[in-house]
Structure 1
Amino acid sequence: MTTVAPTRSELLDALASAVHAGLPSALAELGALVRIPSVSWGAFDPQRVQDSADAVKDLVEGLGVFESVQISRAKQSDSDVLGQPAVLATRAARGGAPTILLYAHHDVQPPGDDDDWDSPPFEPTVRGDRLYGRGAADDKAGVMAHIASIRALVETVGPDFDLGLALFIEGEEEFGSRSFKNFLSQHQTELAADVIVVADSDNWDIDTPALTVGLRGNVTFRLTVSTLAHASHSGMFGGAVPDSMMATVLLLASLYNDDGSVAVAGLTGRDTDTPDYDETKLRAETGLLEGVSPIGSGAILDRIWSKPAITITGIDAPTVDNASNTLSPSTSVRISVRIAPGQGAGEAYTAIEAHLRAHAPFGAHLEITDVDTGDPFLVDTSGWAVAEAKQSMADAWGVPAVETGIGGSIPFISDLVDVFPDAQILVTGVEDPGTRAHSPNESLHLGVFHRAVLTEAVLLARLDERGKKNA
């Protein structure tokens, strides 16, 4: 008896039915993951990250298609400190089919102040067409997109497909992926793939998919500015002695031009062609207050995607309630620098360090510690995997995909390029402009999640078919 292969239309219809039928279970499983406060930062309970890894491992094992499923750790950077637990699963390709590596992360950002949330951050809550909770989008929805798409593939074509699969669910992306490169080295054979999907990015809007083709890099560090050996009375010595807060404010102001653009010599940008995006849309998506103007110059998306940016993300200083009439001896800030594609993180760090030391007011002493760097990334869009991904997005969403840049960073992608130089890397995601990742009231649009799962299921099926054609 001869088996007739389904047509492309029939396969798409079958995958769509499987994804739709599995959506309630996938969302319930996502909710269970959101309830685990898996914050990977050093000040938080590491057991909750382990609990999250265990839960993900159970979900992966339940798929029944992987030959190996394990929880693994690697050492952070050049230290003997182990990183957070990651889930690694593998299935060998058959019959000449390609292998695809699916990446996401199960750790999350700290929730911040619970009072800033409309519902508890670790209690998944549906309001309208969105699921709210820390990690509901970034990136536990990415984890579940992988799980749900594999499940739909199995239900549609059966468990004996030829496509090779590797699944890497990291546990410390939100803490700088400090063990990532060592993890790749430790598991290089298991993670080797023809195509790598990083499900940790954004879509153009809730109705239009996006393939991210450019990412800014980053340099982050702690800067401590000191002017005194000890605190002194501000009334007795103010006006003659510079306090550290004054020095810090003046030093930070030197980082910016009058229009808010970066004033650090040696940080570079580039001009690119970008989709239409006006100030009205910027205000709607960011909550920019009435009367507050945007910063920088040139096309708005160029400023976000292709030029450097500097943000002061934290400050250690006396609170207003605890303020006394004192000249502060030291002030510390956390500085986050986003680097435009085309410039290395090491070169950018050298430039900003030189600027800070050259502009330290009154001879203030500077200490720079806790440095993290990540290179920017540009996708080679000429590869066959990009064409397959964009067609899968068009099939699932019903509209063509937009190629976008992202102002944020995924620093470990440069490590993937170094270790797997021949792999084609696709940066996708389940987020949209209303997601508010890293912020209070982070949320997942349910329709976007549905279409993201279908996109990946279609992509997996297309790559499985590609293997059969090449056999």
Structure 2
Amino acid sequence: MTTSHIPRNVRREAIDQAFAVYDSGQLLEDLARRVGFRTESQNPARADELRAYLTDEMTPTLERLGFNCRVAENPVAANAPFLIAERIEDPALPTVLLYGHGDVVRGYDEQWRAGLAPWQVTVEGDRWYGRGTADNKGQHTINFAALDVVLAARDGKLGYNVKVIFETGEEIGSPGLGEFCAQERAALAADVFIASDGPRVSAERPTVFLGSRGDINFDLTVDLREGAHHSGNWGGVLRNPAIVLAHAIASLVDKRGAIVVEGLRPPPVSDAVRRALTDIELGGDDDGPRIDPDWGEPGLTPTERVIAWNALEVLAFKAGNPDAPVNAIPPVARATCQLRYVVGTDSANAARYLEAHFARHGFSEVEVSVERIAAATRLDPDDPWVDWVLSSMRVTAGKKPALLPNLGGTVPNDVFADTLGLPTLWIPHSYPACAQHAPNEHLLGSVAREALGVMAGVWWDLGDDARRIVELRASSVNHRVSA
């Protein structure tokens, strides 16, 4: 009996080849080499390493895949260059824009536990330890390894164009990224944006998120007088700025942490967002913190509070000298606070809302200083690209992926969604307890292997479906405009 008439499942073969990249040790070898670059963007002494990561590591990798590459200077930060690459098969084909960042947070070498070091990958069971294994070197290494496999499986023709932008300043707030993308809008023009950063909802469940919460960092200061005064001689007749500021902060939220300043609250959770979150449970990983079920906005699930609502946090509070207290009433108290917020929040007027609130409640001494605003973004969960990517991932992984309308944290998605005007799909390859930004950062090998298959499926399916999805989106937009 002959089987020559049975068609080969080339998609499945490509995915198996992606798994082989993991099984052979090639993924580990590539990642170990990249982790060895000490690309701490918070450390000015590492400027040469940041540039070398682009010129000596990522440029040869992309050129081998047929990309034309150029390193470009940052218009704002001299030590945070960019890499732009493109692989154009036909200008008439759809184009996908990929993103990654080569920088990492400080290594904190001395804080890693015995047997581990930030600048080399150490494998212990399922854990691959090293700075950048989870954020972001491991994630973009997976994506390009999977693209390499699909390119070979399709005999050198993907059926779409690919562009890439790498930055080296994400861990210091992506300075210059917005300005650079605005300048390079034509070079970065595409039909869809796909990238990987942040964690899955859990290690076991492939995840897509469509944007991120924004954040507003602001300082609150109560400065009452020059110099400290003895608490025995003056206690009871001098206002204590720490007490005044503590009451002012407490007036912003109720006793369970729900925001009471109307201007800082978001619009009601939409039905589409609520549907997307119905089967997603926050936490569950062994190393994750225990959730406080009664903290935050009432009437919402814990997942909705993180993904679909706003949270006001106190990040730091200082009065006097906490490390060596003395018997004195301090003259000044200061708190650094943060509002994590979702789409629909009037973020531009946050300072005005805070000042008006403090005035109404008799806290005229509180000075408000907004330090930074990062925009909130969210692709419509009903966008055709969303159903497409979920279907691709489901077929490959054999399980239902999780859909997050937005990440609880913040990534520079506004640059791609707003400045470049692209639908944005983020497919993370880390997990919540990866110790991102902390000592002992790690990637799970099991997640990396599954992610290689998932991304190979995505890159394969783009070749079959990208043109159809682009046309479907265009017809949908035209229909809405005509209506």
The TM-score range, normalised by the shorter chain, is 0.7 to 0.9
Aligned residues: 456
The 8 Å contact of residues 109 and 118 in structure 2, kept in 1 or not, is answered as no
After superposition, where does 1:127-206 map in structure 2 within 5 Å?
127-206=124-203
Secondary structure of the corresponding residue to residue 392 of structure 1: helix
Contact kept? 2:112, 2:118, Cα under 8 Å: no
Cα 1:376/1:367, change in 2 over 3 Å? closer
**Structure 1 residue 166, shift from structure 2 partner:** 0.7
Match of 2:326 in 1: 324
Q: Give the direction of change, closer, same or farther, for the CA distance of 1:38–1:344 in structure 2 (3 Å limit).
A: farther
Match of residue 397 from structure 2: 397
Q: Could you say which residue in structure 2 is the equivalent of 1:103?
A: 99
What TM-score do you get using the length of structure 2 for normalisation? 0.83
Give unmatched runs, 5+ long, in structure 1.
none
Contact 2:222 2:245 in 1 (8 A): yes
1:36 counterpart SS class: coil
Deviation of the 1:56 alpha carbon: 4.0
> What is the rounded CA distance, in whole Å, between the counterparts of 1:359 and 1:40 in structure 2?
42
User: How do residues 183-262 of structure 1 correspond to structure 2 at under 5 angstroms?
Assistant: 183-213=180-210, 215-262=212-259
Answer whether contact 1:247 1:360 (CA < 8 A) is retained. Answer: no
Task: Determine the C-alpha separation between the residues in 2 that align with 1:216 and 1:195.
Answer: 20
Alignment of 1:272-291 (within 5 A): 272-273=274-275, 274-276=277-279, 281=283, 286-288=288-290
Q: Find the residue that maps to 1:275 and give its secondary structure.
A: coil
User: Which one is further off, 192-201 or 141-150?
Assistant: 141-150
1:338 aligned residue (335, 340, 343): 340
Note the C-alpha offset of 1:153. 2.0
State the distance in 2 between where 1:210 and 1:444 align.
Answer: 16
8 Å CA contact 1:245–1:331 kept in 2: the answer is yes
Supply the distance in 1 between the matched residues of 2:410 and 2:7 (Cα, whole angstroms).
37
Tell me the residue number matched to 2:87. Answer: 91
- Does residue 431 of structure 1 match 2:433? no
User: What amino acid is the match of 1:17?
Assistant: Q
Return the offset for 1:104. 1.8
Q: 1:25 offset after TM fit, Å?
A: 2.2
> Displacement, 1:112?
5.8
Conserved? CA contact 2:241–2:333, under 8 Å: yes
Percent identity, aligned pairs only, is 22
Assess if the C-alpha contact under 8 Å between 1:206 and 1:448 holds in 2: yes
Change over 3 Å in CA distance of 1:358–1:144 after alignment to 2: farther
- Deviation of the 1:116 alpha carbon: 6.5
Give the Cα–Cα distance (whole angstroms) in 2 for the partners of residues 250 and 311 of structure 1. Answer: 15
**2:53 maps to what in 1?**
52
TM-score computed with the length of structure 1 as normaliser: 0.85
Please tell me whether residue 305 in structure 1 is matched to residue 304 in structure 2. Answer: no
CA 168–358 in structure 1, closer or farther in 2 if over 3 Å, else same: farther
Matching residue of 1:465: 464
Deviation at 1:411, TM superposition (A): 5.0
> In the superposition, relative to structure 1, how do residues 355 and 284 fare at CA in structure 2: closer, same or farther (>3 Å)?
farther
The alpha-carbon distance between structure 1 residues 39 and 99, as it changes in their structure 2 partners (threshold 3 A), is same
Distance 1:161 1:415, change over 3 A: closer
Change (3 A) 1:236 1:434: same
Over residues 240-263 of structure 1, what are the superposed CA-to-partner deviations in whole Å (9 max), with x where a residue is unaligned?
A: 223433333333222221112223
Please say if residues 207 and 397 of structure 1, whose CA atoms lie closer than 8 Å, have aligned partners that are also in contact: no
Deviates more, 1:202-211 or 1:177-186: 202-211
State how far apart, in whole Å, the 2-side matches of 1:166 and 1:395 are.
Answer: 26
After superposition, the C-alpha distances for 1:250-283 in whole angstroms (9 at most, x for unaligned) are: 332222211122232212233323234668x568
Does the aligned pair in 2 maintain the 1:219–1:349 contact within 8 Å?
A: no
Q: Secondary structure at the match of 2:85?
A: strand
CA change 1:94–1:405 in 2 (3 A) is same
Structure 1 residues 254 and 82 mapped into 2: Cα distance closer, same or farther (>3 Å)?
Answer: farther
Gaps of 5+ in 2: 472-483
